[in-house]
Amino acid sequence: MNNPEENIIPHAASVLKQGGLVAFPTETVYGLGADASNPAALAKLYETKGRPTNHPVIVHVHDISQLPAWAVDIPPEAYRLAEAFWPGPMTLILRKASHVLPMVTGGQETVGIRIPDHPVALSLLEAFGGGIAAPSANLFGRLSPTRPEDLDPVLLLHVDCVLPGDAGHVGLESTIIDLSGEGQPRVLRPGMLLSTEIEAVLGYEMNIKTLESHTIRTPGSLASHYAPHTPLQLVDSHELAATIQSLQVAKPSLRVAVLVHNSSFSKNPFPDAVLLKTLPDDPPEYARQLYHTLHELDQYGAGILIVETPPSGMAWAAVHDRLRRASKIPPPTATCNHDND
Ligand code: TXA
Ligand code: MG
């Protein structure tokens, strides 16, 4: 980085080596990083996030050549996907190497690995040299941050270094693909890397049915989710006006925040006590801005946050997944139970 803060990367790497925590930008969301080989650093990471220790974390690495340091029995498909999509918003679940700590894997026989596509994250990984365990840099159950200003002040009390960075160009957490089993690869968490793009590299269609039978050991309850503080409700476009009106009739003092994607609503046809934000009607752009916009709307102190249900279709699958979890509605198929992370 050509700026006065160029020493910050070596500083952040030494913080990690000493067992500290570093918040760093990625192309998806901010990560809260710790040395993936240091049990004390991992304990601090879990404590800071308020996350149960049997939840696995993703190990971030700098280079595909580091895969065998973390995983064994790596299938050829893993290398094909890695060559095609790394650095990028994809996490591969592989069988773990024997030394990988149970705090990284949640006590399972598998490990999640990814190479993020962000210059700051890659510089940090290169300077550090090892694997960085990094969940999203939010308190357990809360919204993921995509910008430094959206990092929770309570979380920051325990973070030793925050690396600055632009908002990620993806904006939603990585697509997680399980390649650890005997059968075909499975998508455990939808992301902005789409199944069709994955299948184009694999050369065959993934068996969607297997999603429903897959279970991994993560505690999950619908009460905890990727949630803003303001209760969030998804409402179909044609019911927006009536829903807002009836909320205001029932409780005139209620402040309502509304998030739409349909430009026909952008002139705010709703009554005065409504704060309206419009996101682009384009899945990648909507996804890129979603978390920051939800953070902004959360500041407004509204009694309820109404979100216009996005269009259906594969390009919107990850957006739907996150909004459903934020509104406490379970996803249609039981994918990875990641609603608390
Ligand atoms: O984009 C991302 O993936 C971000 C950035 C920071 O890289 N990270 C992220 O981490 O979203 P986190 O911890 O918030 O979510 C990781 C998800 C969890 O749902 C966890 O259960 C799943 O990955 N995961 C990690 N290791 C796993 C494993 N071995 N088997 C199954 N799921 C795993
Ligand atoms: Mg998370």
| pTM of structure | 0.92
Among all chains, which residue has been given the structure tokens 């039978």?
A: 213
Polymer length in residues for the chain: 341
Which residues face 112 on adjacent strands?
A: 58, 93
Q: What is the pLDDT of residues 122-180, one digit of tens each?
A: 999 999 999 999 999 999 989 999 999 999 999 999 999 999 997 789 999 999 999 99
Mean pLDDT, residues 8-27: 98
- Three-state DSSP state, 227: strand
Q: What is the pLDDT of residues 79-138, one digit of tens each?
A: 999 999 999 999 999 999 999 999 999 999 999 999 999 999 999 999 999 999 999 999
Give the Å distances, CA to CA, from 133 to 38, 86, 94, 104, 324.
10, 17, 15, 7, 27
Ligand 1 pocket, CB under 6 A: 26, 28-29, 31, 55-58, 91, 93, 105, 108, 110-112, 114, 116, 134-136, 173-174, 176, 188, 216, 218, 336, 338, 341
Ligand 1 nearest-atom number relative to CA 138: 14
Q: How far is the CA of 263 from the centre of ligand 2 (A)?
A: 30
- The residue contributing the CA closest to ligand 1 atom 18 is 338
Give the Å distances, CA to CA, from 131 to 14, 39, 42, 61.
14, 13, 12, 5
Q: How far is the CA of 234 from the centre of ligand 1 (A)?
A: 25
Among all chains, which residue has been given the structure tokens 């040395």?
A: 35
- Out of 58, 139, 290, 341, mutate this one to test ligand 1's pocket (max ligand atoms within 8 Å of CB): namely 58
